[in-house]
Chains A and B, each alone.
Chain A
């Protein structure tokens, strides 16, 4: 078994707003092994981005990790000093964001922004940092790197800017790269290029990636392991194959049903009925039960525990408990 690079244990993150505590993440646990790609999938408001920001400690003003541990190589980063955290960000763990159009500072050149992280985290002097920045741009497939260094973000296209973001994130060779919906704001052809680039770089540099997305296609093509989140909780986890071919949570099943396919072009899409839950007022039982076709009484009352539904495949759904109990009953009557 390979080394556990990052372990998130029972993470609870809340935003304290005027209207009350918004419980964005409610007890998420997962671990990331070095060199692996972990996918976190879920709809808007499922807590996937907040989980990522919690790891980086870049939550917006009112956000706070209220419970849990985030272990990087065994050390709890929540106990890090400001200085240690500065060293962690950008050097050990980097992040790229959803919208490359707004994620770069419009008033500084690409070179300035790329070199900033390099100068902060390595011993390189200005000249060496510039050379490294140009090297990184070449690595991410930006042509004419020397010229680009002098340009401002508004002079580049969206795809180019996301490449710059990737170059910036990888400039100090982090162990972990968090990609927060890296392709959502890009058009389809550019999306494919960026994903391909990330896969290549992952192989070349060997870092681990946490891929936060709502795009199941991205998950299928990239990830070793997948976590499905809903209402700030993990509802299912396992290998990409297990999640896609043996979905064991009603929410995951709904997600996969709602993917349009080329075989049923004429049919209507099957959406998941209802609206996302109100994080200000979490239900007592399963977060998904108000939208679940197969909800049972117990779903309203109690939060389902995670149980094994296959090899490397866990799900938190009372349906699985019921199924297992039925199987046991059959076994007993024989």
Chain B
């Protein structure tokens, strides 16, 4: 177990290293740079700025300088705002993680509950309704959904403010973010629950005199959750880091929108910072879901 963990962490470090290499060099390969704006600044100013951010040095050297900084916990400062990258990421991650955390929790709980209900009430009206809605929700892209939500609940019904400078209302973005993973988990749970309910050990449990409720929630559900966990780990990572589309529509200022604007701005340190942050989170969640796997399914060995 410990050996496996260490091995995975080492592998994760290698993965993240490779990601930084790819990100750094492709980023520099895109035409344009941080200080190429429509407003022509004098060549002297531009040269001074580039020197300040080491952009005048050869690419390889720039990379080495960047990685050295990383090891000292320095992710650099934004070429756009001049603020510390680590701090910017942390601030916007707070927003994304709050909205994403709520969305992920709702998606997991509701998805598992609806999926189980659909499996238990198989071929009834309830099952058909759940399957229809979840198929619909997986098919509708999030920008369409977010726009509709904003239009109906903010513009027409006036339940929520479209935008407010001091307080954010997270209800609509949470719905917009959670619907797709919820539907996906619903369908996944339904399939694996049906599979589990048909297994011999469920029959054994029933034959022992275990009540219907316990048969379902103890014996069947635990086995049914195994495939769900595979999906949930990476899903949490991607949902926590925010969706560019949803965050832009609801003007949340989370990590997702920061990531995208950093690319259009060619804000090199910000691109690197967000990429590395996303990579660490993704790799970490994958590792956690693998460990949870072991907890749920004792047949899995790590050797």
Contact = CB atoms under 8 A, between A and B. Distances in A.
Interface of B: 122, 198-201, 203-212, 219, 222-223, 296-299
Contacts of A88: 209
Contacts of A87: 209
Contacts of A194: none
Interface stretch (A68-76, A92-100, A136-144, A304-312): A92-100
Contacts of B205: 105, 116
Pick from B207, B211, B297 the residue with the most CB of A within 10 Å. B207
A105 B206 contact: no
Contacts of A120: 208-210
Interface residues of A, number: 31
Contacts of A60: 198
A125 to B, nearest CB: 18
A89 B222 CA distance: 23
Looking at chain A's contact residues, the main secondary structure is mixed
A105 B223 contact: yes
A89 B297 contact: no
A117 B219 contact: no
A58 B201 contact: no
A96 B172 CA distance: 53
Interface of A: 56, 58, 60-61, 82, 86-91, 94-95, 97, 99, 102-109, 116-117, 120-121, 152, 154, 165, 168
A90 B214 CA distance: 15
Contacts of A95: 207
B124 to A, nearest CB: 12
B298 A107 contact: yes
Given A105-B223, A107-B223, A90 B203 contact: no
A118 to B, nearest CB: 10
B211 A86 contact: yes
Contact of B209 (A89, A103, A104, A109): A89
Contacts of B212: 82
Contacts of B199: 102
B204 A97 contact: yes
Nearest to A95: B207
Contacts of A103: 200-201, 203-204
A89 B201 contact: no
A89 B208 contact: yes
A95 to B, nearest CB: 5
Nearest to B203: A58
Given A152-B298, A152-B299, A105 B211 contact: no
A90 B209 CA distance: 5
A137 B297 CA distance: 24
Nearest to B123: A61
B216 to A, nearest CB: 13
Contact of A106 (B122, B198, B201, B210): B201
11 contacts: A56-B207, A94-B208, A97-B203, A97-B204, A105-B205, A106-B297, A107-B296, A108-B219, A108-B222, A120-B209, A152-B298
